[in-house]
Structure 1
Amino acid sequence: MLKSDATGKRTLKTIRYEADLIVVGGGLSGTCCAITAARAGIRVALVQDRPVLGGNSSSEVRLWVLGATSHMGNNNRWAREGGVIDEILVENWYRNPEGNPLLFDTILLEKVVSEPNITLLLNTAVYDVEKSNADTISSLKAFCSQNSTAYELTAPLFCDASGDGVVGFQAGAAFRMGAESQEEFGEKFAPSAEYGELLGHSLYFYTKDTGRPVRFVPPSYALDDITTIPRYRRFNAQEYGCQLWWIEYGGRLDTVHDTETIKWELWKVVYGVWNHIKNSGQFPEAETMTLEWVGTIPGKRESRRFEGDYMLRQQDIVEQRIHQDAVAFGGWSIDLHPADGVFSEKPGCNQWHGKGLYQIPYRCLYSRNISNLFLAGRIISATHVAFGSARVMGTSAHVGQAVGMAAALCTRENTLPRRLSEPQKIGLLQQELLKTGQHIPGLRLHDERDLIQQATLTASSEFVLTELPGDGPLISLAQSAAQMLPLPTGPVPRLTAWATADQDTTLTVELRRSTKADNHTPDVTLQTLTIPLRKGKHEVDLDFSVRIDEPCYVFVMFMKNEHVKLQYSNLRVTGVLSVFNKINAAVSNYGKQEPTEDIGVDTFEFWCPERRPKGQNVALKCSGGIGLFGAENIRNGIQRPTSQPNAYVAELTDPNPTLTASWPTKQRISRVELFFDTDYDHPLESVIMIHPETASPFCVREYILCNDRQKRIYHETNNHQSRNIIRFAEPIETSSLTIHLKETNGGAPASLMEVRCYAD
């Protein structure tokens, strides 16, 4: 029994935590930041004001995770974000291909609680900031209503990943809210006052078919006249969840302090919409459906944006400007929404894509006037227009990882965030990020401690692309199709395709490439062939008199002709892909991007892959073959296809694909890191979308490591992840390391993106 006498005042139980880094905000950005920092060896406190992690991706909001891949609806090939966010999405793919948001919660929680360097505080809201001087935060005060406990959180470094910038705001960090004028940064896409300066919030709902009639009596606050929503005719009984992202409101209000008001308006809309679907008589298919779930907190898009030493802007995205301090990348469209949201007469969004990935500089990731404050997520230093692209969760998570590693380096070197932006220090941050799988466009890993760099590499076989056999379907050229092929500098090899015509016709075949070698927008036509076809099946010889002046992908493009069917191949190979000039309205892709006025974006065509199980390669023969899949690729410092495949691939007929690294003397190996192909072109949306597989068909499922006596030192039988880290209890002394690639998760030939070995 606990008994206390009456008293004038009591204080709450208070717990004090000290850490190297305090991360406020447990969305994907804060979560990936905390995990990255903890794995780099520093103590982290992760403070989340909700009961689960994930923010807008959690079961409380249920928005799918997307970034530069953009539903495979743009020209950013192999563009899924790497590092921790890739690990999370690949794990979700393996465990949760049906897209259950509750299971995604468990994966995020498991990743965090598995890290001994992280102290996780859920249901804990930061409400006050203490400062030791004008530009330095010393501690935070937070409160958990579930255990009635106050927390004092002290650290030399802080990361605000809270979405609204609760730490930065109270600390006095410079910030902006609303849109910049066209004149301030020269951004031609800056919105008008009529369009509005802020994106609103959204609430989603899920439905369920019960198999028997279900009635619905709306609550009194439900919107009773759905026709006040200009797009009300778009509502139907099939769409649910974040497919209804355009149920948006609040852009004319204060998206921080008016959030509860915005939520109530969205509740009115959601229940009014469901009443319309159930009771208007226009949707008989909804008779047996019930409303299974409605969000209780809105998914936020925009509020405060904080100022760093640089502000990302429209030109960085469209022109793909190079930054010496690049630490992450983006690739989602510049995606702005009318401030009036669902009540606007305008389209729900206004998306304009770039031709490829763009760099995000480190200078955008810390406050310009609070010396020990990092910024992560949607509050990074960006204009309103650039924010329209950088705000999405895949990009935010990638940025969070960069902050986590930066915090670890600051701790290690006892320095502050701005110092890492100096030319002599930024390279270290970039290299440490690349080691974890963080892709940074234009950069390669150069790791002097990696023993593989000094090894002699041999392989049992190396794939040469001489043929994509015609064992797949015949598919009509109802839409233009292209085969992407990696080529070295030199003449384009002679190619042969197979086509069947249902009448005499003419087939047009174009050879294109991208202006920039690392892009995959085919905006440069190298040659056009016009080939007469008689009715029937034909071998089509493609003899291009073109020389390639730098390694890049070319596009062999078979232009639309409804009288022709093209032969496809069932063979899938790492770094080889077919694309199509098709429409994906979900990301404002209508085959070609054509701005109707000068808004500072480019005109170009979209050539995008089909999702598996579709998306077979075009059947082709290649005279002389394309030999770009050799063992040397595993140490070239790039872990995904870019302008080249950057992968070792074994021959199809190799019964035991084997890669061996040898040294003239014995080495002491404590750790081996392997990077496999988990198909960075697949966006891996976390919810709603159902994925046909649970692992990449290119990814090696089973492999064996052997020493110089061919003794087995490690055996993995169920791999599905990109990055595998093998740590030996005792160092292995050997003059060679042999990797046997036994089985993949699909029918593709075995491949390996990177191998690294370390003595420590």
Structure 2
Amino acid sequence: MLKENFSLKRTLKTQKIVTDFLIVGGGISGVCTAIVAARSGIRVVLVQDRPVLGGNASSEVRLWILGATSHMGNNNRWAREGGIIDEILVENLYRNREGNPLIFDTILLEKIYEEANIQLLLNTSAFEVNKSDDKNISNVKAFCSQNSTMYDIYANLFCDASGDGVIAFLAGASFRMGAETKQEFGEGFAPDVKDYGELLGHSIYFYTKDTGAPIKYVAPSYAKKDVGSLPRIRNYKLPEYGCRLWWVEYGGRLDTIHQSEDIKFELWKVIYGLWDYVKNSGKFPEAENLTLEWVGTIPGKRESRRFEGDYILVQQDIVEQKRHDDAVAFGGWAMDLHPADGVFSDKNGCTQWHSKGVYQIPYRCFYSKDIDNLFLAGRIISVSHVAFSSTRVMATCAMGGQAVGLAASLAIKSSLKPRDFSSGENLIKLQLELNKIGQSIPFVPLADSDNLLNAATLDSSSSLSLEGFPADGEWIELEFSTAQMLPFKKGELYTLEFPFKVLNDTTLRFELRTSSKMQNHTPDVMLEEHLVFLNKGKRNVKISLKEVLKEDQYVFLCFMKNNDLQVKCSQTKVTGILSVLNKTNKAVSNFGRQDPPSDIGVDTFEFWTPYRRPRCQNLAFKISPSISCFEIQNIKNGFLRPYEKPNAWVSALDDENPTIKLNWEHQVTINEIVLMLDNDFDHPLESSLYGHPEDVLPFCVRDYSLKKCKSTAVYTKEDNYQTINKIILSEPLNTKELILELKRPSGNVPAAIYQILIYS
């Protein structure tokens, strides 16, 4: 037994920890920061003040992870974030395609515990910062409520990924909180603070359960009694629950840091009042058997402090898609502001304005301009209030965290500070190492002089020469204008043929469109128009184009809305090929087109977006000449996803067992091989609630073998589902030849690879 006599004073157990890199905050950005840094070979301590990882994506809040793909509701094709966040979301899809947030908790925890270089401290709150001088942090003190232990953590570098910026704040770093005026940065979308407010509020979600029998509900006394009169709740419809109720929001006129508990309690009042309204107003008879299964105990917080770096990202960076030499990540969520009064406001729950494509985020946004050894990650990075409304979403935050984690590793190994990687050779090294883990920085190809593939002669059993897609899919009515996206070659003049079912004599309107910016997938430039009169019946429509492109670029073969026409689809799926429709997606303020006020500095354009699988199909067609942009040399071009073209090697449609051969003039020694595969970067992979139609994305190569000659296998993989396969050979391979044998993913999907990296 333990027995102690009376003492005038006792001190808590204190543990001193010395590490390379301390990360405060175990949300998605902190998790990705920690994993990247640890895998890069430095010691990491990750401090999280909650019992689980994931922040707003955890089972405590249950918000789905999303980013540039925006529920497939904008024109950002193939824009899902790469790297560690892709690895996590693909793993979650494989284990948890139904979107159970409890399972997602286990995946995050497993990813952290698998890294020997990470020491995780859960239930531990950082509360004190000490500095070695005015511009450098020396150590951080934190307290764990569960083991009554004080931690005194010393590190060379620090990262604040805490959401409210507790470490950056205590260190004295410059910050902003609230909205800038329109005049400060010339941002037309900056809100009228008096009318709209200047902070986004918190939300709390709930889940319901069908008990199979009638169940009553008696509301607590603190539940609001009049919520049924609120405009948003008057329109509430079952069975909406979870983060589909993002609009149950409050707190934007309060101090979202120090009054967070007050905000939470007000949201509880609203939630329990809403459920009282549902169960007892008589307006929801379908709720008779429903009960509340779960209500969040902490709110999902959107906004508080933003800390200043060497650059502040603003609205114009997003809308104009400005290029930055120090780009390390990208965003693509809409600029998305919410009225400060939240659920009590009579305004729309959000005001969203999209850009025409993804935008770069510069490295200078990810470290403090004042504290020399402090990185910033998550929603606290150096952005204006308007830009924050886009960069704040979790998948975008994850990409920033990945950049911070790698920069920290490189800095530790070279005895440098965060700012030292903002330019020059250090920046180039950072960008290269990020792309090697799948970051896919826009306009920054992966160009690695150490990649042995550069010196190899490439050959493949086949490469796709696309002559069209077979007409083996369903007929779809032109309820919406519908387009087949194809990568056209410059200087080519194409002839197209599409099968149609004509319900009544009518005129088909066809438009050939492309994007005003090469990298975008917004069809805002019309090149030519054809009007074709069609008699009733089934027939093939042939269109001979007149325009040729000056550069390789995606085009949109647009068949405009006509309820008297049906077009035939195909079950064939090919990397970098999609059909899209000029339809709506109200989940992201997509009403078919974007028509902003003329004075807010936002573009007007149409949305052309895909259906989700399994409904999503390409159109059946024939094309002459064939499209031949899927050649084997693409695996050397440094691009990890489609931009102005697919950027992948794709095997022929009839090649059941495609093979790639690499030959070197002289013998090489190989220790590591990295395959970057196609896991459909167009699919959002929301982490919870949404659900997905498959547990493995249909473009992914599942089975392959690496051989040093036709009969000697050095590595075999079966049932792969991950995007990046990093293969460390058990012993060095000395060879002049390497053969990669693959199986096509399925009968209607050819094999594809974006990049291959080979290192000695």
Normalising by the smaller structure, the TM-score range is over 0.9
Deviation at 1:495, TM superposition (A): 0.9
Pairing 1:483-632 to 2, within 5 Å after superposition: 483-632=484-633
Matches within 5 A, 1:177-216: 177-193=177-193, 194-216=195-217
Q: Distance in 1 between matches of 2:185 and 2:305?
A: 18
Separation in 1, partners of 2:598, 2:458: 54
Question: Which residue of structure 2 lines up, in the alignment, with residue 104 of structure 1?
Answer: 104
Match of 1:744, SS state, is coil
2:108 and 2:736 map into 1 onto residues whose CA distance is 40
Give the CA deviation at 1:98: 0.3
Moved over 4 A (4+): none
SS in 1 for 2:23: strand
Counterpart of 2:218 in structure 1 is 217
Alpha-carbon contact 2:656-2:744 (below 8 Å) kept: no
How far did residue 417 of structure 1 move? 0.7
Partner of 1:407: 408
CA displacement 1:23-81 (0-9 Å, x = unmatched):
00000000000001111111110000000100000000000000000000000000000
Q: 1:746 to 1:347 in 2, by over 3 A?
A: farther
Letter in 1 for 2:393: V
SS at match of 1:701: coil
Name the structure 1 match of 2:164: 164
Offset of 1:403 from its aligned partner? 0.5
Q: Distance in 2 between matches of 1:157 and 1:698?
A: 40
Q: Answer whether contact 1:701 1:745 (CA < 8 A) is retained.
A: no
Q: Are the counterparts in 2 of residues 449 and 758 from structure 1 also a CA contact under 8 Å?
A: yes
What are the within-5 Å matches in structure 2 for residues 306-321 of structure 1? 306-321=307-322
Q: 1:670 is matched with which residue? A: 671
Partner of residue 234, structure 1: 235
1:656 is displaced (CA, Å) by 1.6
Q: 1: distance between equivalents of 2:613 and 2:197? A: 39
Q: 1:161-180: CA deviations, max 9, x gaps?
A: 00000000000000000000
- List runs of 5+ in structure 2 lacking aligned partners: none
Q: Partner residue of 1:115? A: 115
* Aligned-partner Cα distance in 1 for 2:128–2:400: 25
In 2: Cα distance, 1:488 partner to 1:47 partner: 51
For 1:710 and 1:638, locate their aligned partners in 2 and report how far apart those are by CA, in whole Å. Answer: 32
> Quick check: 1:699–1:745 contact (8 Å CA) kept in 2?
no
Whether the 8 Å contact between 1:135 and 1:371 is mirrored in structure 2 is: yes
Of the structure 1 ranges 323-332 and 8-17, higher mean CA displacement relative to structure 2 is found in 8-17
Distance in 2 (CA, whole Å) between partners of 1:754 and 1:325 is: 23
Contact 1:326 / 1:362 at 8 angstroms: preserved in 2? yes
**TM-aligned CA deviation for residue 254 of structure 1:** 0.2
1:435 aligns to what? 436
CA contact (8 A) 1:700 1:742 kept: yes
Shift of 1:710: 3.1
CA distance in 1, matches of 2:628, 2:711: 29
CA distance in 2, matches of 1:450, 1:360: 27
CA contact (8 A) 1:236 1:277 kept: no
TM-score, normalising length from structure 2?
A: 0.99
What CA distance in whole angstroms lies between the structure 1 residues aligned with 2:161 and 2:497?
Answer: 53
Judge conservation of contact 1:708–1:737 (CA < 8 Å) in 2. Answer: yes
Deviation at 1:750, TM superposition (A): 1.0
**Which amino acid in structure 1 is aligned with residue 664 of structure 2?**
W
> Does the residue aligned with 2:67 lie in a helix, a strand or coil?
coil
State whether structure 2 residue 273 is matched by structure 1 residue 272: yes
Alignment partner, residue 420 of structure 1: 421
CA distance in 2, matches of 1:491, 1:385: 42
Contact 1:334–1:386 (Cα < 8 Å) also in 2: yes
Do 1:89 and 1:686's aligned partners in 2 also have CA atoms closer than 8 Å?
A: yes
1:378 aligned residue: 379
Q: Tell me how far apart the structure 2 counterparts of residues 7 and 557 of structure 1 sit (CA, whole Å).
A: 82
Structure 1 residue 399: deviation in Å? 0.5
Match of residue 73 from structure 1: 73
Counterpart secondary structure, 2:336? strand
Checking the alignment, whether the CA contact within 8 Å between 1:696 and 1:745 is kept in structure 2 is no
| Native 8 Å contact 2:657 2:744 kept in 1 | no
1:725 match: secondary structure: strand
Shift of 1:226: 1.1
1:647 to 1:255, Cα distance in 2 relative to 1, 3 A? same
CA distance in 1, matches of 2:314, 2:14: 43
* Residue pair 2:23, 2:47 contacting (<8 A) in 1 also: yes
Which residue in 2 is equivalent to 1:34?
34
Larger displacement relative to structure 2 (493-502 or 167-176): 493-502
- Does 1:144 find its partner at 2:182? no
1:655 Cα deviation (Å)?
2.8
Report how far residue 423 of structure 1 moved.
2.6
Give the Cα separation in 2 of the matches to 1:15 and 1:492: 72
Distance 1:482 1:709, change over 3 A: closer
State the match for 1:90 in structure 2. Answer: 90
Mean CA deviation greater in 136-145 or 2-11: 2-11
**Aligned partner letter, 1:289:** L
- Distance in 1, Cα, partners of 2:447 & 2:594: 38
Cα distance, 1:357–1:254 mapped onto 2, change above 3 Å = same
Contact 2:658-2:744 at 8 Å conserved across structures: no
Say what the alpha-carbon RMSD is for the aligned residues.
Answer: 0.9
Q: Gapped runs of 5+ residues in structure 1?
A: none
* Secondary structure class of the residue paired with 1:394: helix
TM superposition shift of 1:553? 0.3
Distance 1:737 1:210 in 2: 59
Q: Contact 1:41 / 1:117 at 8 angstroms: preserved in 2?
A: yes
1:746 and 1:634 map into 2 onto residues whose CA distance is 23
CA contact (8 A) 1:222 1:272 kept: yes
SS at match of 2:231: coil
Contact kept, 8 Å, 1:20 with 1:155, in 2: the verdict is yes
**Shift of residue 5 of structure 1?**
2.0
Deviations 1:316-336 (A, max 9, x none): 000000100000000000000
1:206 and 1:746 mapped to 2: Cα distance? 40
Equivalent residue for 1:452? Answer: 453
Deviation of 1:598 (Å): 1.4
Shift of 1:708: 2.7
Contact (CA 8 Å) 2:228, 2:277: kept in 1 or not? no
How far residue 630 of structure 1 moved from its aligned partner, in angstroms, is: 1.0
How far does the alpha carbon of each residue in 1:236-261 deviate from its partner, in whole angstroms, 9 at most, with x for none?
22100000000000000000000000
Distance 1:336 1:746 in 2: 45
Shift of 1:227: 3.5
- Alignment-derived partner of residue 20 in structure 2: 20
User: Distance in 2 between the 1:393 and 1:30 partners?
Assistant: 11
Q: 1:709, CA displacement in angstroms?
A: 5.0
1:707 aligns with 2:708: yes
Question: How far apart, in 1, do the equivalents of 2:727 and 2:295 lie?
Answer: 44
Distance, in Å, in 2 between the alignment partners of 1:689 and 1:579 is: 21
Larger deviation: 224-233 or 428-437? 224-233
The answer to whether the 8 Å contact 2:635/2:756 transfers is yes
Q: Which residue of 1 aligns with 2:697?
A: 696
* SS of equivalent residue, structure 1 residue 521: coil
Aligned to 1:260: 261
Task: Check whether the contact 1:704–1:739 (CA below 8 A) recurs between aligned residues.
Answer: yes
Amino acid at match of 2:493: V
Q: Which amino acid aligns with 2:226?
A: D
Q: Distance in 2 between matches of 1:10 and 1:296?
A: 33
Quote the Cα distance in structure 1 between the aligned partners of 2:59 and 2:499. Answer: 48
**Partner Cα separation in structure 1 for residue 758 and residue 300 of structure 2:** 43
In the alignment, the residues of structure 2 paired with residue 146 and residue 570 of structure 1 have an alpha-carbon distance, to the nearest angstrom, of 55
Residue 115 of structure 1 aligns to which amino acid in structure 2?
E
Partner of 1:478: 479
Partner Cα separation in structure 2 for residue 214 and residue 56 of structure 1: 31
Q: Taking structure 1 as reference, are residues 228 and 166 closer, same or farther at Cα in structure 2, changes over 3 Å only?
A: farther
Report the Cα offset of residue 228 of structure 1: 4.6
The Cα of 1:538 is off from its aligned counterpart by 1.5
In the TM superposition, residue 746 of structure 1 has moved relative to its aligned partner by 7.1
Percent pairwise identity: 59
